[in-house]
A and B are shown apart, each in its own frame.
Chain A
């Protein structure tokens, strides 16, 4: 989230699209009802199904799964055509005026540089024109045909309301009504918020869905304002934290990057990370990259990380490909290339697509280690449960260790919410039986491994032997010790750059902000964006002062929000060029003539005069991007792409299947289904009664939603002879499931390309363990393909068939 849950109360218009907040985030959705009740805000819901969010919406429109880009580009087109543009914002806070390389263009749904052989783009033309002074060339008059604005206008031209209706199935009158409602928020004193989740991410072009809305929000001048922003609702209680701390193939904590093998040494690695500003005087905050990186390396390897050894650069793994994401690992596993796998609090057998492939993959491991508070299907992938897990244990040679862990009630520590608040919690229950904390388990595994390397030697022992392990009890580092490391401390004296004689932080002291980080080895910090969370004043994450002086929902003294306790990102953009809030009733900060101040931590140097520094200080441009340069693999603008399995052809290019640059493994291509065999569109989702595959272990939630079902329209039910409560079989090219049929008027056939498209809704929550009735995960059916940029599986739009199941299927 750029903003926070409590900030939503400040909005005028909520658009829930690509998510279902009332269902999946009910207590966050409270702030939508608050905005409606207190500000008279309106709620729009766009979803293939009439959801629980839609049940309290002011306006609802259906959409065919996987067509969000066309829908959003159409809104941008409508806003431009009807002059619903926040012009001051667009001209000054976005890259609209920038000139783009004259070679850049597009045709047939593809941008310049596409190579069908490699399924990749040569992106060299996707760049600004840079002047001889090294700064970007612009045309403030917006006349140049190569300026971003004119390229954008040309790009969205095809997305007429008729095009949208034809592709998305959204009736034109409903669509235009929504365009009007959205367009109203281009006024400087009107704000819209976007609430989205996996409904946008779980597509082969998920990142571009989100960019589509981010662009619309820039156009309307809604980024950085209270009640505005791009608000990723996020799924799990600490998936924000796990990502912040870099637990992904290619990440270092704080969104730094694991080196590629072409970056042979630290100097080479840093050479492409200068982030030189594209305008004179612009603050480009990531110019400080080296300070964050060196402090991280010092947190990893302490005294052993020195300037001489590139801060231990050789000890970091180097990637030969973009990332070893989970889909790739499971593909490698299925091909016998993985021997040992750990699942910590994670149930991939139900979470990743193509269950049959997942089962096959786990069966090829030598050892699977599962750490979890609960029994999981993954740990029991080898157990026969009839149709629910039809395997022969005798044929599966994988060894499995299932380790009992504590849960939230039994440990201390912080989790990070969608609004980036790090909230500390305290344990209040004794763990059951022999359950142990994850830190105890990881520490014990590591200590034993380190001992083996110390005693036996072995390959590349240095990164293991040298890892900093400065904990009172090496077998169980405490949450406090680890939190203090994440924050960081001075190792040597930290000097004031303006006055080198002055020591800002004495050695051994906790740092109070990432401005104190240094690239000379005098500081260490596990995760630079968390610096400030545990200072010499104590644990900022444990703060529980719920006062809110500006009544803006910023709650400055409640816990700690990264970065720098800032609650609304890009909040400088909430003010006009002179530093006054666009809307005085929604003031977050303002320029008082000397400095920036208000109810939030300014997202700009507090003494940076208005007009001198652009508001988006994390980019070298200082502006928001309509045109994303070379940052996205599938194009600098979002372009309509059909799902890999689609009921219709892509009108921009009938030969194009799915996302033209999305990765597809060899065997998975053959497992894509065709609309002749699988005529219906499936989409997966959560129900409010359950959380993933956890609450089916819980008696109460099992009672509230006991059994796996699929949702279909009355029309599809009639077509297939299915009655309410019937048992049905649903199958895709990859597998089949049996479920109860919930026949509803909340799903209606959509007319796309002149033909009715039926949607089958498939909730995700059932398996063969726990207190609820045995069932199937929707992942049995989903295709093994991910988003072209970040590899999120395409669970939200694929093809299935459905029929009434004859007789009772026995478990």
Chain B
């Protein structure tokens, strides 16, 4: 079987013949809750998705393609007077167009539209916060992926994420988020959203190429009067593998609260080794009810001894509302 090449673009027709994956367990460079980091014998080319909000028409093709490719089933919600549907990221909706109405200082109206979703941080807070061994991994090309079989649905990744992206699935009791279509990347394809994007506001390639492409776009925007156009690749998380071109890069918060200077929370940074357990315990023996149900709902990974231990915990701790994020 031929080994798939590394992807260079999202604009390609996927193969239908079986290919050897280019994204192997041995390409993992970080693993959650694991003391000895892996030592890969090769370095994959760093990839990135670049989202140029100035080209984005908010059509939601990215959402549609994401649902179709990942076979998710977002709930049918109501209209609450907004264009955002679903109203937020959910465990079944990994990406979301967020719409902001903005009147600039010149008095001109702008409709700022940003595709939200996992940023695939170089320094991933979710992974650092995750207590479940192997539930979150980072490949050497930069993709941060959740390995659901190892996930315990605790939601620490939500806390650890400076962008508030992961969501806990209410019935599967695992954390879900954009995988950067790791299954497509593994066979040399780009993410489904980037392929679908009609105006190619979302493009995909090597991080180097995407950064260079962003420079061209920024020059064009500056020529059109957007003096503060720039690239969003925040250093506080080591840079990201999903980047934005913003017309107002000096004010990322304009775009539905994109963090100015995202960082992993110090408490999460501090969770290392035994300190991690202590740190997590310090967060509080808060609610367990429904969340524990989640834990035990997956019989294939829970031993009877786990249950006994957990019951002790429930009895000793306080109970809370037990809602998902």
Contacts and interface: CB of A to CB of B under 8 A. Distances in A.
B281 interface: no
Contact of A703 (B82, B86, B220): B86
A40 B82 CA distance: 33
B75 interface: yes
A155 interface: no
Interface stretch (B58-66, B119-127, B185-193, B229-237): B58-66
A700 interface: yes
A601 interface: no
Interface in A50-89: 50, 52-56, 58, 60
B200 A726 contact: no
B59 A23 contact: yes
B80 interface: yes
B54 interface: yes
Interface in B196-225: 198-201, 217, 220, 223-224
A22 B197 CA distance: 12
Interface stretch (A194-202, A359-367, A549-557, A704-712): A704-712
Contacts of B73: 699
A484 interface: no
Nearest to A703: B74
A182 interface: no
B97 to A, nearest CB: 9
A36 B55 CA distance: 10
Nearest to A707: B79
Nearest to B68: A700
Contact of A27 (B81, B93, B101, B198): B198
A756 interface: no
Contact of A706 (B55, B61, B64, B76): B76
A56 B79 contact: no
A482 interface: no
B92 to A, nearest CB: 9
A724 B55 contact: no
B275 interface: no
B70 to A, nearest CB: 11
B61 A740 contact: no
Interface in B73-115: 73-83, 85-86, 93, 101, 103, 109-111, 113
Contact of A22 (B59, B85, B86): B59
B78 A742 contact: no
A462 to B, nearest CB: 52
Contact of A29 (B93, B111, B198, B224): B198
Interface string B116-138: 00000000000000000000000
B200 A30 contact: yes
Given A40-B223, A700-B68, A701-B64, A725 B59 contact: no
A691 B304 CA distance: 52
A688 B57 contact: yes
Contact of B57 (A29, A700, A724): A29
A708 B67 CA distance: 22
A37 B60 CA distance: 22
Contacts of A706: 76-79, 85
Nearest to B216: A37
A703 B67 contact: yes
Contact of B85 (A30, A40, A703): A703
A26 B81 contact: no
B109 A707 contact: no
A514 B101 CA distance: 54
A52 B59 CA distance: 8
Interface stretch (A282-290, A581-589, A653-661, A743-751): A743-751
A380 interface: no
B199 A724 contact: no
A772 interface: yes
B111 A746 contact: yes
B101 A704 contact: no
A704 B60 contact: yes
B60 A688 contact: yes
Contact of A709 (B64, B81, B223): B81
Contacts of A742: 79, 81-83
B59 A705 contact: no
Nearest to A53: B57
A181 to B, nearest CB: 13
Given A745-B101, A745-B103, A773-B78, A700 B223 contact: no
Contacts of A699: 73, 76
Contacts of A746: 101, 109, 111
Contacts of B101: 744-746
B81 A703 contact: no
B80 A724 contact: yes
A116 B79 CA distance: 48
B12 to A, nearest CB: 14
A743 B81 contact: yes
Given A702-B76, A724-B82, A30 B58 contact: no
Q: Which 8 A-B pairs have the closest CB atoms?
A: A725-B81, A724-B81, A26-B198, A707-B79, A22-B57, A55-B111, A740-B79, A725-B80
Interface of B: 54-61, 63-64, 67-68, 73-83, 85-86, 93, 101, 103, 109-111, 113, 198-201, 217, 220, 223-224
Given A27-B198, A703-B85, 15 more contacts: A22-B59, A23-B59, A33-B201, A40-B220, A688-B57, A700-B68, A703-B74, A703-B93, A705-B85, A708-B79, A725-B82, A742-B81, A745-B109, A746-B101, A746-B109
9 contacts: A29-B198, A30-B199, A37-B220, A55-B111, A699-B73, A744-B101, A745-B109, A746-B101, A746-B109
